[in-house]
Amino acid sequence: MPVLEFRNVGKSFFGNRVLSDINLAIEAGEVHALVGENGAGKSTLVNLAAGVHARDSGEIVLQGEPVSFADPLHAMRAGISVVHQELSLAPNATVAENIHLRREVTNRFGLNDWRAMNRRTAAVFRRIGIDIDPAELVGRLSVGMQQLVEIAKAIALEARIIFMDEPTSSLSEREIDDLFRVVRGLRAQGIAVVFISHKLSELFDIADRISVLRDGRLIGTRPAREVQSAEIIRMMVGRALEDLYPPHASAQGPVLFTCRGLSRYGYVADIDFDVRRGEILGLAGLIGAGRSEAMRALINADRRSGGRFTLNGQEIALASPVEAVRHGIYYVSEDRKSSGLFLPFSVALNVAASTLGRLSTGLGMLRAEAVRRQAAAAIADLDIRPPNGRAAVISLSGGNQQKVLLGKALATNPALLVADEPTRGVDVGAKATIHRRLRAAAEAGAGVVLISSEMPEVIGLADRILVFRSGRISGELDNRDGRVRQEDIMYLATWH
């Protein structure tokens, strides 16, 4: 008997059909990957199972019994837990307090029994094979450790099925290995894990079966050992996706930008590099190596302690991010939600936010038609869905939010575009669109700096690669032929 079944399940929002006749069975003791483009219906399906939304049709069956949950707490008590991409832990509470939230153990005086909660937490950790101090504040843990605390919280609730939404998007390679070890342990204990990820290579390492959603429909389920990534991609996007990475630059242009002696005390030191017109310069390295820290210090978003810069041969001062934009240097943040987009605002206003002066009248009023035209151009260029400039950005899928963020940057026609993790958490179709647009910006004469934790992406896109280690550049690799190996990058990132 499957632990969880969706039988002819359908769901609509405001007349828009987002799930249609979903028939899917999750077995006990399996890792079941759920994949699809952004907007395919994955999150909605999870939210139906977790009691966030009510289905419009069909039924959800938990261990042979139809269920209908009034709220997420009801679903959790029935054994369904969700580990969200945006972790829901209280950073100023201890690990044990987070795991027992709303289920605190009290003594005969009605006060919290800290020792009992710590003991129970330690027992859960032993069960899943992790070593975390129950008395440690959650905010002091790494993202990977926090992810494991979320899983332990689900186990403490006697979860029979755990949904994990993009659990590796912010983890290092070592943290991913730790997570996969825990997931395999859960599988051995008969717990079902539904693993949602856009990193297809991971799925073949951890999943037993892979189910593909497209446009709110279940396209099919395949055993992971019997399917190739090309078939999964075809199922996801409805076509073969051979051009995930556009061709590399055929020739190097003149030097556009130079950086000498860039430093930020305690983070990066003595960073020297050039960016040429028409090239994509990749920054590779392990998480914490200093790539993002260097680029944030470049525009003085984080106060730097040293650095000299030239643009088109002229020395420039970069006292602030605003001044950087005035010089034609635009940094696309890796955190689109907190420092990249105005989520409640429309697509049109977000795209316009970087060019308000150009779109305003002499009295400081926005010209509505100019804003609309600029948004329409960005929507067409980046295939933003739905193609509606009035749609609130918060209502879009993660991949389409990322496209809006890039459209906001490209609207400034930057001379130097710094893209920090531009495809984190987006599907393969959106990745291909973003890759194409970054290459188009370079071919139009801009310089592009790409920061990515995905080595295949750096190798597939970058013409040159700078490898960071411990806050310094440890080496440079010429990649115009696209033949740099991941081993070459890892050697410079760890041993050189």
239-248, 348-357, 441-450: segment of lowest average pLDDT: 239-248
Residue 112 is given by DSSP the state B
Return d(Cα 390, Cα 272) in angstroms, integer.
43
Q: 360-407, pLDDT tens digit by residue? A: 987 889 999 999 999 999 999 999 988 999 999 998 888 899 999 999
Residue 254 is given by DSSP the state -
Q: What one-letter code names the amino acid at 204?
A: F
217 & 276 share domain: no
Q: 159-183, pLDDT tens digit by residue? A: 999 999 888 877 777 888 888 999 9
The pair of three-digit structure tokens given for residue 146, joined into one six-digit string: 């926090």
Are 342 and 392 in contact by the 8 Å Cβ rule? The answer is no
366, 389, 407: which is the final residue of a domain?
407
Write down the H helix ranges in 5-161. 42-49, 72-77, 95-99, 114-128, 143-156
Q: Say what percent of the chain tops pLDDT 90.
A: 67
Q: Which of 389, 442, 447, 454 is nearest to 170 (CA)?
A: 454
107-111, 137-141, 345-349, 464-468: segment of lowest average pLDDT: 107-111
Residue 257 is given by DSSP the state E
**Three-class SS state of 97:** helix
355 & 208 share domain: no
Return d(Cα 198, Cα 217) in angstroms, integer.
18
At 242, the pLDDT band (50, 70, 90 cuts) reads low
Strand partners, 276: 255
347, 373, 407: which is the final residue of a domain?
407
Return d(Cα 28, Cα 26) in angstroms, integer.
7
Are 28 and 192 in contact by the 8 Å Cβ rule? The answer is yes
Q: Which of 465, 469, 471, 470 is nearest to 486 (CA)?
A: 465
77-86, 89-98, 459-468: segment of lowest average pLDDT: 77-86
DSSP secondary structure, 436-490, as one string: HHHHHHHHTT-EEEEE-S-HHHHHHH-SEEEEEETTEEEEEEE-TTS---HHHHH
Are 433 and 382 in contact by the 8 Å Cβ rule? The answer is yes
73 & 179 share domain: yes
Strand partners, 13: 16
Name residue, tokens 């392990």: 286
- CATH number for the domain harbouring residue 15: 3.40.50.300
pLDDT given for residue 134 in this prediction: 94
DSSP secondary structure, 275-316, as one string: EETT-EEEEE-STTSSHHHHHHHHTTSS--SEEEEEETTEEE
Return d(Cα 441, Cα 432) in angstroms, integer.
14
Return d(Cα 438, Cα 419) in angstroms, integer.
9
Residue 199 is given by DSSP the state -
348 & 479 share domain: no
Q: Say what percent of the chain tops pLDDT 70.
A: 99
97 & 124 share domain: yes
Return d(Cα 385, Cα 404) in angstroms, integer.
10
- Strands of 255-264's sheet in order across: 268-276, 255-264, 306-311, 314-316
Dihedral over Cα of 4, 164, 195, 155: its sign? negative
Q: 22-71, pLDDT tens digit by residue? A: 999 999 999 999 998 877 889 899 999 999 999 999 999 999 999 999 89
Task: Provide the domain limits for residue 257.
Answer: 243-328+414-496
407, 431, 460: which is the final residue of a domain?
407
10 Å CB burial of residue 452 (0-12, 13-18, 19+) is: buried
67 & 213 share domain: yes
pTM above 0.85, yes or no: no
Return d(Cα 168, Cα 429) in angstroms, integer.
19
At 424, the pLDDT band (50, 70, 90 cuts) reads confident
* Cβ neighbours for 369, distance < 8 A, ≥ 6 positions apart: none
pLDDT given for residue 38 in this prediction: 74
Segment (H or E) for 213: strand 209-214
Return d(Cα 228, Cα 247) in angstroms, integer.
24
Segment (H or E) for 195: strand 192-196
233 & 247 share domain: no
* Cβ neighbours for 64, distance < 8 A, ≥ 6 positions apart: 1
pLDDT given for residue 94 in this prediction: 93
As for how many domains the chain has, the answer is 3
Cα–Cα–Cα angle for 484, 486, 492, nearest 5°?
90
pLDDT given for residue 135 in this prediction: 93
169 & 288 share domain: no
pLDDT given for residue 425 in this prediction: 76
112 & 202 share domain: yes
pLDDT given for residue 241 in this prediction: 59
294 & 375 share domain: no
Q: What is the mean pLDDT of the chain?
A: 91
186 & 303 share domain: no
318 & 388 share domain: no
Angle between helix 398-410 and 428-443 (nearest 10): 10
Q: 309-341, pLDDT tens digit by residue? A: 999 999 999 999 999 999 999 999 988 888 889
